[in-house]
Amino acid sequence: MLNLTCVFGGLLSSCSHPTSSAPQADLRIHNIQLVDVEAGQLRQEQTVLIKADRIVAIVPEAQAAQWQSKAELDGQGQYLTPALWDMHVHFEGRDLVADNALLLPVYLAYGITAVREAASNLAPTVLRWRSEVASGQRLGPRIFTAGQKFEGINSLWDGDLEIGNEQQMLTGMDLLQSQQVDFIKITENTLAPDLYLATIREARKRGLLVSSHVPYGTAIDELAQAGLSSIEHASYLLRLGFATEADIAAKVRSGALTNQQAAALYRQGFEQASADAGYRRLAKAGVAVTPTLIGGQQLAHLHDTDHSHDTFLQYLSTDFTANYQWRIQRMAGETPAQQQERKGKEQLIAAQLPRLQQAGVVLLAGSDSAALNTYVYPAEALHAELQLWQQAGMQSADILRAATINGARFMQQSQLYGSIATGKKADLLLLKQNPLLDIRATRQLQSLVYQGKVYDRAALDQLLQQAAAQKQQVDLQPD
């Protein structure tokens, strides 16, 4: 970590001889090319002035001399970008508390300073981490969490909030509100469609954000009308490629079709024009989408990829990666034809991204990293996700917005986060390359500014080394 003292050559005089009238800052980042994510443009030769953990001024290089600063960071040739938000992660696994905890600083080393934790069976722990990060007791990204997610009775999930009627839903909502969760998450394993919709409506009535999957028994438009804030996983959107989606949902609800029969119907064909019209309706209704492509991609390439040398494995405990096995085993029997079908489906999902963007749907960048999601590595997977979006034909500026300002806006935090502006928190990345030209630049992190501190590359590498060492310790501990 860089000490905020005067240790730089050319501008030493302006630092060591403050005049009483000069405005004061703690840190001056100068000579930078500022990435304006909202405009999707670079602003050349800017100086950003930071006091404690806030941006207090942004001035052209030529006007920076009037400011006094305790420390400086020379951004010559570098690009200053808002830090990244991963809008879909899970910190889960009852036996994986230390295993998940050691990964929190790793997020920072990958330039991610905020995560939206989309429900967990470690909800009380995650809520504690949220406040520990906020108070500076724990080093990690800012956490926005759903706590426990809503599900139906006897769902396949562990640690969820299972409800079978409206009264149980209201009681559950009271509990989540008392825990001050940041949003409500709902999934569809055994939750009845009517109760699903009622849960969305109740959350919105209470002023809460609500994110969910899409049950076979509800049409996507019904979720939107109920007030859903975001759909998790773009795979569900393929159903909009069926003009009969509402009929299929109604038949599932009435019992005329089973979920399996509906799934089989949705495997037969896809009309792009119908989907595009659906995306425009989603945009109009203000429903955001978190595509989470990387998990599906990893599964589609499971049979032709050797992960045994992945460098990220040094941060993942043996117990953590043991969870990967259930999907690996479940897919072991897939035939080449099934593998091909899976790849085709993933390609079709990815191809929807530029179309969603064009329709005006707000996209949120999220990895869905979790111990249960095979080879979706925490922190690293967000960069892989962004790369997939670029391969799918998305513009870098749109991708960068989805990983910064869109997340902050969605969480109603854009007055403090998501872009580089006076008054906002200084959660900043210095990158070697221009992310507006190629989103892979987010992998070239030189320095991170976070919570009033500068982490240069050596400090970031130290965070990674510490995580690797802790992983070794966790592996040695008996279960």
For the chain, the residue count is: 479
What token pair was written down for 347?
């390609």
Give the orientation angle of helix 193-205 with respect to helix 245-254, to 10 degrees.
Answer: 110
Which residue stretch of 113-121, 260-268, 379-387, 407-415 sits at the interface with Zn ion (rule: CB under 5 A)? 113-121
Cβ at position 90, least distance to Zn ion in Å = 6
Q: Residue 162: count other Cβ atoms within 10 Å of its Cβ.
A: 19
Which residue stretch of 117-125, 161-169, 243-251, 278-286 sits at the interface with Zn ion (rule: CB under 5 A)? 117-125
Is the Cα dihedral 174, 176, 179, 182 positive or negative?
A: negative
Cβ at position 368, least distance to Zn ion in Å = 4
Q: Binding-site residue total for Zn ion (CB under 5 A)?
A: 2
Which residue stretch of 17-25, 112-120, 175-183, 223-231 sits at the interface with Zn ion (rule: CB under 5 A)? 112-120
Q: Applying CB under 5 A, does 92 fall inside the site for Zn ion?
A: no
Cβ at position 390, least distance to Zn ion in Å = 22
Which residue stretch of 212-220, 335-343, 368-376, 429-437 sits at the interface with Zn ion (rule: CB under 5 A)? 368-376
Cβ distance to Zn ion smaller for residue 235 or 447: 235
Q: Taking CB positions, which residue lies at the least distance from Zn ion? A: 368
- Binder among 346, 368, 380, 427 for Zn ion (CB under 5 A): 368
| Sequence letter at residue 330 | R
Cβ at position 88, least distance to Zn ion in Å = 6
Cβ at position 379, least distance to Zn ion in Å = 15
Please give the distance of CA 110 from its chain centroid, rounded to a whole number: 13
CA distance 46 to 84: 21
Cβ distance to Zn ion smaller for residue 238 or 416: 238
Which residue stretch of 115-123, 169-177, 254-262, 341-349 sits at the interface with Zn ion (rule: CB under 5 A)? 115-123
Cβ distance to Zn ion smaller for residue 118 or 219: 118
Give burial (CB, 10 Å; 0-12/13-18/19+) of 229.
buried
Residues numbered 48-77 forming contacts with Zn ion, rule: CB under 5 A: none
| Sequence letter at residue 119 | A
DSSP conformation class of 149? P
Helix (H/G/I), strand (E/B), else coil: 445: strand
Cβ at position 151, least distance to Zn ion in Å = 13
Which residue stretch of 217-225, 280-288, 299-307, 361-369 sits at the interface with Zn ion (rule: CB under 5 A)? 361-369
Cβ at position 446, least distance to Zn ion in Å = 31
End-to-end Cα, the chain, rounded Å = 34
Dump strand ranges (E) for 304-452.
428-431, 445-450
Candidates 167, 153, 166; CA nearest to 194 is: 166
Query: Please, which residues bridge with residue 307 across strands?
Result: none
| Sequence letter at residue 45 | E
Cβ distance to Zn ion smaller for residue 116 or 409: 116
Query: Under the rule (CB under 5 A), what is the footprint of Zn ion?
Result: 118, 368
